[in-house]
Amino acid sequence: MAANGIGVSVRRIEDYRFLTGRGTYTDDLNRPGQVHAFILRSPHARAKIKSIKTDKARRADGVIAVFTGADIEADQLGGLPCGWMVTDRHGKPMVEPAHPVIVKDEARHVGDQVAVVIAETRSQARDAAELITIDYQALPAIVSTGEAMSKSAPLVWDQAPQNLCYDWALGDQAAADAAFAKAAKVAKLDIVNNRLIPNAMEPRAAVGDYDAAKGHYTLHTTSQNPHVIRLLMSAYVLKVPEHKVRVNAPDVGGGFGSKIYHYAEEAIVTWASKKIGRPVKWTADRSESFMSDAHGRDHVTHAELALDQNGTFLAMKVSTTANMGAYLSTFAPCIPTYLYALLLAGVYTTPTIFCEVRAVFTNTVPVDAYRGAGRPEATFVVERLVDEAAKVTGLDPAEIRRRNFIPRNAFPYQTPVVVQYDSGDYQSTLDLALKGGDYAGFETRRAESAKRGKLRGIGLATYIEACGIAPSAVVGSVGARAGLYESAVIRVHPTGSVTVLTGSHSHGQGHETTFAQLVAERLGVDIANIEIVHGDTDKIPFGMGTYGSRSLAVGGSAMVKAMDKIIAKGKKIAAHLLEAAEADIEFKDGTFSVAGTDKKKALAEISGAAYVPHHYPINELEPGLEEQAFYDPANFTFPGGCHVCEVEIDQDTGTVNVVKFTAVDDVGRVINPMIVEGQVQGGLAQGIGQALLEGCVYDQKSGQLVTGSYMDYTMPRADNLPSFTVSTHNTLCTHNPLGVKGVGEVGAIGSPAAVMNAVHNALAPLGITRIDMPATAERVWKAINGAPRRAAE
Amino acid sequence: MYEFNYHRAKSVDEAVKTVKGASEGKFLAGGHTLIPTLKQRLARPSDLVDISAIRELQGISVAGGTVTIGACTRHGDVANSKDVQMAIPALAHLADTIGDPQVRNRGTIGGSIANSDPGADYPAAILGLGATIHTNKRTIEADKYFKGLFETALEDGELITKVTFPIADKAAYEKFAQPASRFALVGVFVSQGKAGVRVAVTGAGVCAFRVAEMEKALGAKFAPESVANIKVPSKGLNADIHGSAEYRAHLVTVMAKRAVAKANG
């Protein structure tokens, strides 16, 4: 093993610049002659725009231009495209309304962009925006997911009756019904998966810079996938040649999904830069982020599980309404379908599953992928439902899980919902988590809490997720308008140091360290001599970016492929230099040697020879030592594991405290254990945040965003969280060269169900059967006070 | 924010004069309410008069059964003051529950009570200890100071210079924080001293208020059970996504009970 290779907790290389304030974020970039854009946003959830008067704003101090939807239309810009077409259960394509860069006739959510002012300073732009007079005719709005399809709901789009985007289904309904008819017991559940606002630490920003001399556009932006933005913006929105566009996503301060999508502001600054002939910067303030970053989750679900006498799962039926918001964000349609229903088997052998999903439009910010994306929603349904099943059968929650686990020897395991799991060991992760969380000793702790007047509960989630997204042909067959491979270039320099170009993008994940370790291990180069380059389409090969816990499984595999090409070429060069047969050359720890001899050449000698090919097999081999690879995964990867949560509830106030949390995750091969633990901890914080604290609230009548700032939107903070006990028990992925599965999302996927199972467990003695997320103090207090039985104090 | 003129006053007189001379002048202390308000363009003062450099508005002293805190004293300084911790530990504790370290290192007692946010913590201590508010013109008793939502007895251009707190025999503050903002959803300050028992509530109403029924019961017996069954009416209390009026009313009782228990040690 290399000193800083696979399996070592190397300190994050990138942290030095971040911790010393030397990162370069989009807002840090200032171009000569740069001016500033302010986006004027709709204050109404839904309103006709009868007229816009911009003359005063145009004449205001420092103002260079004011643009409205009419200007966008006049320049024939396209709308923001959607990257996924879902076909409904009747073979009908989803309703796909236009998503204008700036709206012209009607605003459809609070925050919808209605005009842009460009001025010398940000303040001048904002001042001038106040001089724009818009004659709005406010219209009734619909914001509720559950009510969107009701007869009385106003229509967000005329072409979408009942506000229905699609009515999609997966599985054999008749078979499911037949299984339910024979069931000894049925568990039922109505749940809400609360809408979340992502809140990356760095707000979105964009700088557009058009070079008239070259006819070249540059967009610096806070993106997780610069090439996807370049493709979508050049081909569909601006309709300019792709090769004339550079998209650069420099240091990015967190994304969690919200920076995957192509946003209007990116197109606006790039287009406007050409219009006015100067670079244009836009940086969101936090209030803008709340009302313009794509939100996450937002499902309303009814689910049922059929069981036999012994608690064996026979069939599952799930019916979900999913909120899309006012427009379809880039990947929105696939989240509640292919990233949701395909996970409903969980870790169990449920033979028959039927799922129907109705996606609805509402007058809210678009909803798209947010850390976990569909899989936390699926896990929440399955794992809450399994706890209900434990209740109706009288089995212990751990025992009913054990009885239904996919056994260790059953892999590869084909689920009834399309996907095939390659590996896993659910029994062991459960056993380890129960041991780590002292499940056996819980009743003693419950009694101790009761002495202090507190209700204590314990909850499990044995989750699975699908990540390492994704085999292109598979996703293409179900509506993806993109491939989901990844690219890498390994560039060995003449002196033997290495530059790696990757299509993945790091925005907090520590790729510059993890990828360097991977290369150090494989090529035997010290990590000090390895540089990871990402984010700039002028530097890196076409790549799909980072989301869906894919960077190591897909991007890392591309690096392995490229490194294998380097090693293969290096062997040829070494064979020539060492006057040996190529087949006799071995490569280990950075050295090429002739098997069974002491003849050897270091990688640096080989690369030196490759770039100075004086003694070189020049007739057979090109000079240079640089290789590119694209890797398209054969399957998803399937991390899983067990989270055990313990809560204590203050009956007087309803406050829920997480007092103990144990996670045992199977994430495949671990490159850097410290980074893995950090990813899990961050995910757990977000999952616990969803379960207990976070919840986007719209006013049902006005459609105003009530949780529009940190005064009302509750982010999890350190004192809301216990010290986590985090470990891994890994089985290797069988279909990628590293055996890695992915870790970015697992924490947020397993934890909400574990927390809510614990909350329900704590409240069960009072006869309380339903608490929705977030389980806020008042919500719990109300349930306790309306409860059939009040616990003996 | 909109443009404004900035002044840095060296004395109370200069500050008051400058504010009065401006078309719409505002005092700026720690700025922890005013600056966010300006950033959101919800206010448009013509002039900001920064009072944070005025020496006479700074500092903490304890003498003659009274704790005196200058108007521009920061929450963190009150929380960490050994003198306050000895004299009225409940007051130091309250200051330590305000916001986060950044807020406590900037926000001031004068700014807090001049603004009289319904969720602010200090008003509970002002009322709960029967403090006296000193301004450049006069002294105002706590009971006559809080008038309504963001409304106090202060007149235009009147500047708080210091606050004096009588040292109580017993006192405690219990706060149920609004989970997002960490302001008080409900905070209850109780004290027992020469002037009797005081129970003051912040967060629940439009401004801080006292609960006479609880004070009476505690006057008879200063014990948690004395207030356990006393409910304030929910009518007129604040209600938002974090707590209905009923919930807040309930929390007043719970926090009062806990505060009394804590005061009793």
The pLDDT value recorded for residue B101 is 94
Instruction: Count CB neighbours of A643 within 10 A.
Output: 35
Chain B residues in contact with A714 by the CB 8 A cut-off are 179-180
Q: Are B194 and B129 in contact (CB under 8 A)?
A: no
Q: Average pLDDT in the B248-264 region?
A: 98
Contacts A713 to B, Cβ<8 Å: 180
Residue B164: count of CB within 10 angstroms of its CB? 16
Q: Which residues of A touch B (CB under 8 A)?
A: 123, 126-127, 287, 652-653, 693, 697, 706-707, 710-715, 776-778, 781-782
Q: A443-476 burial, b if ≥16 CB within 10 A, otherwise e?
A: eebbeebeeeebbbbbbbbbbbbbbbbbbeebbe
Residues of chain A with pLDDT under 70: 1-2, 787-793
**What residues of chain A lie within 8 A of the CB of B251, using their CB?**
653
Provide residues of B within 8 Å CB-CB of chain A: 1-3, 40-41, 176, 179-181, 240-244, 247, 250-251, 254
* CA distance linking residue A420 with residue A636, whole number of Å: 8
Shortest Cα–Cα distance, A591 to chain B (Å): 54
Distance from CA of A656 to the nearest CA of B (A): 12
Is B241 in contact with A712 (Cβ distance < 8 A)?
yes
Q: Which of A40, A291, A651, A778 to mutate to test the interface with B (most CBs of B within 10 A)?
A: A778
User: What average pLDDT score do residues B36-44 get?
Assistant: 93
* For B242, nearest residue in chain A (alpha carbons): A778
Mean pLDDT confidence for B93-110: 96
pLDDT at A786: 86
- As a whole number of angstroms, the distance between CA A478 and CA A338 comes to 8
Q: Nearest chain A residue to B239 by CA: give it.
A: A778
Nearest chain B Cα distance for residue A707, angstroms: 9
CA distance B1 to chain A (A): 7
The reported pTM is 0.97
Cβ atoms of A458 and A433 within 8 Å: the answer is no
Q: Does the N-terminal peptide bond of residue A226 adopt cis geometry, omega within 30 degrees of 0?
A: no
What is the per-residue pLDDT for A3?
Answer: 83
pLDDT tens track for B184-219: 999 999 999 998 999 999 999 999 999 999 999 999
Distance from CA of A654 to the nearest CA of B (A): 10
Residue of B nearest to A697 (CA): B241
The angle at the Cα of A172, spanning A170 to A174, to the nearest 5 degrees, equals: 140
pLDDT > 70? residue B53: yes
Of the candidates B241, B243, B251, the beta carbon closest to that of A706 is on B241
**How far does B101 lie from chain A, in Å, by closest CA?**
14
The pLDDT assigned to A793 comes to: 40
User: What average pLDDT does the structure give for chain B?
Assistant: 97
By CA distance, what is A652's nearest residue in B?
A: B254
Say yes or no for a CB contact (<8 Å) between B247 and A778: yes
Query: In this predicted complex, what is the ipTM?
Result: 0.96
Q: Across the interface, do B243 and A715 touch by the CB < 8 Å criterion?
A: no
**Ranges of H-type helices in B89-240:** 89-96, 101-104, 109-115, 122-129, 212-220, 224-227
Look at B181 and A715 and tell me if their CB atoms are within 8 Å: no
CA–CA min distance B231, chain A (Å)? 14
**Strand locations in A279-369 (E):** 280-283, 299-307, 313-325, 352-361
Candidates A223, A225, A229, A287; CA nearest to A259 is A223
Selection from A355, A189, A285 nearest residue A760 by Cα: A189
| Closest Cβ opposite residue A710 in set B176, B180, B240 | B180
Interval B132-166: pLDDT, tens: 999 999 999 999 999 999 999 999 999 999 999 99
Alpha helices (H) along A296-374: none
Nearest to B179 among A123, A126, A776 (CB): A776
Using CA atoms, how far apart are residues B176 and B202, in angstroms rounded to an integer? 10
Of B2, B40, B180, the CB nearest to A712: B180
Six token digits for residue A541: 């090969």
Residue A558 backbone phi and psi in degrees, to 5: -65, -40
- Give the residue from B100, B244, B251 with the most A CB atoms within 10 Å of its CB, the best one to mutate: B251
Average pLDDT over residues B48-68: 96
- The torsion angles phi and psi of B227, rounded to 5 degrees, stand at -105, -5
Q: Measure in Å the smallest separation between the Cα of B176 and chain A Cα atoms.
A: 9
Q: From the list B2, B180, B247, which residue is nearest A713 (CB)?
A: B180
Task: Give the CA distances from residue A31 to residues A9, A27, A126, A211, A275, in Å, rounded to whole numbers and listed in that order.
Answer: 39, 11, 20, 12, 16
E-strand spans in A416-561? 420-421, 454-464, 486-492, 498-502, 530-534
Paired residues of A511 in beta bridges: none
**A40, A652, A657, A780, best to mutate vs chain B, most B CBs in 10 Å:** A652
CA distance to partner chain A, nearest, from residue B135 (Å): 31
Q: Which of B35, B182, B247 to mutate to test the interface with A (most CBs of A within 10 A)?
A: B247
Question: Which of B242, B248, B252, B260 to mutate: most A Cβ within 10 Å?
Answer: B242
DSSP character string of A223-267 = -S-HHHHHHHIIIIIS---GGGEEEE--B----TTTTSSPPHHHH
Q: Which of B96, B225, B240, B250 to mutate to test the interface with A (most CBs of A within 10 A)?
A: B250
Three-state SS across A291-307?
HHCCEECCEEEEEEEEE
Q: Do B242 and A778 touch (CB under 8 A)?
A: yes
B233 Cα to chain A: minimum distance (Å): 17
Angstrom distances, CA of residue A1 to CA of A12, A487, A524, A664, A727: 19, 26, 9, 25, 22
Helix/strand/coil (H/E/C) assignment for every residue in B41-104: CCCCCCEEEECCCCHHHCCEEEECCEEEEECCCEHHHHHHCHHHHHHCHHHHHHHHCCCCHHHH
Q: Report the distance separating Cα A725 and Cα A729, nearest Å.
A: 13
